[in-house]
Chains A and B, each alone.
Chain A
Amino acid sequence: MTKSRDPSALPAGKEGIMERQFLKGNEAVAEAAILAGCRFFAGYPITPQNEIPEYMSRRMPAAGGVFLQGESETASVCMVYGAASVGTLAMTSSSGPGISLKAEGISTLAGACLPAVIVNVMRGGPGLGAIQAAQSDYLHATKALGHGGFRVIVLAPSTVQEAIDLTYKAFGLAVQYRNPVMVLMDGWIGSMMEPVTLPEAKEPVTFSYTGWGAKYFNPSGVGVNVVTSCLLEPEYQELLNIRAGEMYEEWKEKEVLAEEYLLEDAEYVIVAYGTAARAARTAIGELRGKGIRAGMIRPISLYPFPVEHLKRLDRSRVKFLLDTEMTLPVQMMDDIRLAVADAIPVHSCGRSGGVILTNEEIVEAVELAIAKEAR
């Protein structure tokens, strides 16, 4: 009762891991997690991320780790919370509807100051939406991934190689900051295959959980650990919230990641991430071929948002920004406008619901915006 084997499947434990391989985004992310030292994964089926749990079900046992399919997303993220509470760095993955259900667990992880990596392979929303790829969860990921006002670092790859690199990095950031980290990948990156080189395998990551979570709250004193996001004492809760706030400020200093593409002379700057940024890259080549000086800022960390990159644009030269996303209405707009304090006009361009945006559409959107600005 097996399906014919998918030729894309990476043979587990293959030698010569440094060589170039042709991998599917979802499987590459799963492998990157294992190479980063992740040895606990809990998930639940949902398109377009099914290859992540499926890959983990084959690969984790061989790597000496735990694979679990929970009875729901709520359960699987809480399995991750449980693993983290005893010092194991764990991962879960899902897509929009499932991420909504994980909100409770992610908020709990953040409240208890525990690390974990959450991968969201985005599809069209809201509700059950379309199962085809989209970029519909920017606001959810960057503003409020759950209740209570916590933040997480959100990393958005635009190639399969970058999906590997950012997943690998996410585990380090999670442990460093004792906070969940989200890899926000659109479904196209999850399902596409590209040549990649895998990083070196790290030892399984465990961390001391002594003094964790309840670092500032230890009712009984010695010898026990209380992992909780339930602080009960207002002063303790406030102390943690203030500490968290300081951490978010630190991220803005240290953890911003963005690519600047052909900005030196750019008059029209596209702001795009993930697959939309790839379409934009091609569009920029075509625009430049027509003598239109376009460039791009590509946020890689969506939170912290690359505010400074936008702030330092030459306002006398840049005529407008084009917020380009595969979701409608576009969701980064407020962040972009805030960063440039409305000193540069911001236009938008996008497709949604699982319809892919092409380079041609971006070229047309830039030309349309040029015409509008000329009026």
Chain B
Amino acid sequence: MEKIYERPKSLTDRGLAYCPGCLHGVATRLIAELLDEMDQRTNAVAVLAVGCGTLGMFHFNTDVVVSPHGRTPAVATGAKRAAPGKLVFSYQGDGDLAAIGMAEIMHAANRGENFTVIFINNSTYGMTGGQMAPTTLVGQKATTAPQGRNPAETGYPMKMCEILSQLEAPKYIARFALDCPANILKAKKGIRKAFGMQMAGKGFTFVELLSNCPTNWGMPALECMDWMRENTMKVFPLGVFRDGDE
């Protein structure tokens, strides 16, 4: 009998530690599949940010470094510069990348560091219990924005692909969503491209994945997907913002 489903070797045997229905699980799996397919499992270094993505240290069957909060691109810079042959990717949430780590992401991108950023945008601080993130939508409620995000006080969602696109150095910048199988396949293609460009020494590659947080959004996983399509994806348009391969 032909085996049509197999656990990627780049994933450990452990059951997923993320909440049921959380798309962190999908993102983790996509990366693991690609590491298998591109034969990079033993050559990869995952630089995990603080956030629910830290749980990846239980899942990625590769070398893993856990970074202090927000400094993830700096840690990845150190790892990649010191070991240029490795496939280095950072795995960061929106609190990590767009709030406390804004300086590090901007400067790593501006230096054109040759690693890949996987940016999980779930418009909240998941691990700490649903506080307002830089990506929280206008009107969206959070534990530190009980009336919903009010732009007069807290500004607007920060669009990292668009912001980074202002820089000259980055080679690949794209935003995908994990809401449905078709979009997940596109996301996988995008990550493959980014990893490939990194291994070809092209420079900084950035993949944003629109994700969910059923626990702190307070809705069942399926409802989250609709919510993403009706809200998140309207504020954060999908697409490739820079493709230095072309």
Q: Which residues of A approach B to under 8 Å, CB–CB?
A: 1-4, 44-47, 50, 53-54, 57-58, 67, 69, 71-73, 97, 127-128
Determine the distance from Cα of A102 to Cα of B143 in the docked complex, in whole angstroms: 23
CB distance from A127 to the nearest CB of B (A): 8
CA distance A72 to B100 in the complex (A): 5
Cβ proximity bits B97-121 to A, threshold 8 Å, 1 near / 0 not: 0011010000000000000000000
Query: With A2-B141, A58-B146, A72-B100 as given contacts, are A45 and B216 in contact (CB-CB < 8 Å)?
Result: no
- Least CB distance, A43 to chain B, in whole angstroms: 8
Q: How far is the CB of B228 from chain A (nearest CB, A)?
A: 12
| Contact assessment for B69 and A71 in the assembled complex, using a CB-CB cutoff below 8 Å | no
Which residues of B27-77 are within 8 A (CB) of A? 50, 54, 66, 68-70
The one of B68, B99, B143 in contact with A50, judged by C-beta atoms closer than 8 angstroms, is: B143
Q: How far is the CB of A74 from chain B (nearest CB, A)?
A: 8
Question: Hey, which chain A residues are within 8 Å of B125, CB to CB?
Answer: 45
B219 interface residue per 8 A CB criterion: yes
Nearest 6 A/B pairs, CB to CB: A72-B100, A45-B128, A45-B131, A57-B144, A71-B99, A54-B143
Given A53-B131, A57-B145, A127-B68, 15 more pairs with CB closer than 8 A: A1-B141, A1-B219, A2-B141, A3-B216, A45-B95, A45-B125, A50-B129, A50-B131, A53-B144, A67-B144, A69-B131, A69-B144, A69-B154, A71-B99, A128-B54
Q: Is B217 an interface residue (CB 8 A)?
A: yes
| B218 at the binding interface (Cβ < 8 Å) | yes
Whether B140 contacts A1 by the Cβ 8 Å rule is yes
Q: Are B144 and A3 in contact (CB under 8 A)?
A: no
A-B contact count (CB 8 A): 60
User: B134: which A residues are within 8 A, CB to CB?
Assistant: 71
**Secondary structure type dominating chain A contacts:** loop
Contact with A along B194-213 (1 / 0, CB 8 A): 00000000000000000000
Interface core residue of B99, B128, B140 (most chain A CB under 10 Å) = B128
Is B130 in contact with chain A by the CB < 8 A criterion?
yes
Q: List 7 A-B contacts (CB under 8 A).
A: A44-B100, A45-B125, A45-B128, A50-B131, A54-B143, A72-B70, A72-B99
In the bound complex, CA of A2 to CA of B128 (Å) = 15
Contacts of B131 in A (CB 8 A): 45, 50, 53-54, 69
A1 and B68 contact, Cβ closer than 8 Å, known pairs A45-B95, A50-B131: no
Q: Is the CB of B128 within 8 A of A46?
A: yes
Whether B132 sits at the interface, judged by CB under 8 Å, is: yes
Chain A residues, CB < 8 A from B68: 97, 127-128
Neighbouring A residues of B140 by C-beta, 8 Å: 1
A54: chain B residues at CB < 8 Å are 131, 143-144
Contacts of B66 in A (CB 8 A): 128
Residues of the A chain whose Cβ atoms lie less than 8 Å from the Cβ of B70: 72
Closest-CB distance, B66 to chain A (whole angstroms): 7
Interchain CA distance A127-B129 in the complex, whole Å? 21
Closest to A98 in B: B69
In the complex where A1-B217, A71-B99, A128-B66 touch, is A47 in contact with B128 (Cβ < 8 A)? yes
B109 to chain A, nearest CB (A): 17
User: Please, which residue of chain B has its CB at the minimum distance from the CB of A58?
Assistant: B146
B122 to chain A, nearest CB (A): 12
The answer, among B50, B102, B132, B216, for a CB contact under 8 Å with A69, is B132
Give chain B nearest CB distance to A7 CB in angstroms. 15
Distance in angstroms from A102 CB to nearest chain B CB is 12
A1-B132 in contact given A53-B144, A69-B144, A71-B99 (Cβ < 8 Å)? no
CA gap between A1 and B130 in the complex, in Å: 10
User: Which of A1, A3, A4: most chain B Cβ within 10 A?
Assistant: A1
Which residues on B sit within 8 Å (CB–CB) of A58?
A: 146
Among residues of B, the one whose C-beta sits closest to the C-beta of A61 is B147
- By a CB distance below 8 angstroms, the chain A residues around B127 are 47
A3–B70 Cα gap in the complex (Å)? 27
Beta-carbon contact of A1 and B143 below 8 Å: no
Report chain A residues within 8 Å CB of B102. 71
Closest to A74 in B: B100
Distance between Cα atoms of A4 and B130 in the complex (Å)? 13
- In the assembled complex, how far is the CB of residue B97 from the closest CB belonging to chain A, in whole angstroms? 11
| Known contacts A1-B141, A45-B144, A57-B145; is-contact A128 B100 (Cβ 8 Å) | no
In the bound complex, what is the Cα–Cα distance between A57 and B125 (angstroms)?
A: 15
B66: nearest chain-A partner, CB-CB: A128
Measured between beta carbons, the chain B residues less than 8 angstroms from A73 are 100
Q: Note all chain B residues with C-beta closer than 8 A to A3.
A: 130, 143, 216, 218
Alpha-carbon distance A290/B107, docked complex (angstroms): 65
Q: List residues of chain B with CB within 8 A of the CB of A50.
A: 128-129, 131, 143
Bound-state Cα–Cα, A240 to B102, Å: 36
Q: How far is the CA of A54 from the CA of B134 in the complex (A)?
A: 16
Complex CA–CA separation, A3 to B144 (angstroms): 12
Chain B residues whose C-beta falls within 8 Å of the C-beta of A67 in the assembled complex: 144
Query: Smallest CB–CB gap between B6 and chain A, Å?
Result: 33
Give CA–CA (A69, B131) in the complex, Å.
Answer: 9
**Cα distance A128–B55 when bound, in Å?**
13
* B219: nearest chain-A partner, CB-CB: A1
CA distance A26 to B50 in the complex (A): 23
Cα distance A57–B130 in the bound complex, in angstroms = 13
> Shortest distance in angstroms between A52's beta carbon and chain B's nearest beta carbon?
10
Q: Which residues of B contact A57 (CB under 8 A)?
A: 143-146
CA distance A47 to B52 in the complex (A): 13
Query: In the bound complex, what is the Cα–Cα distance between A57 and B217 (angstroms)?
Result: 18
Q: How far is the CB of A364 from chain B (nearest CB, A)?
A: 34
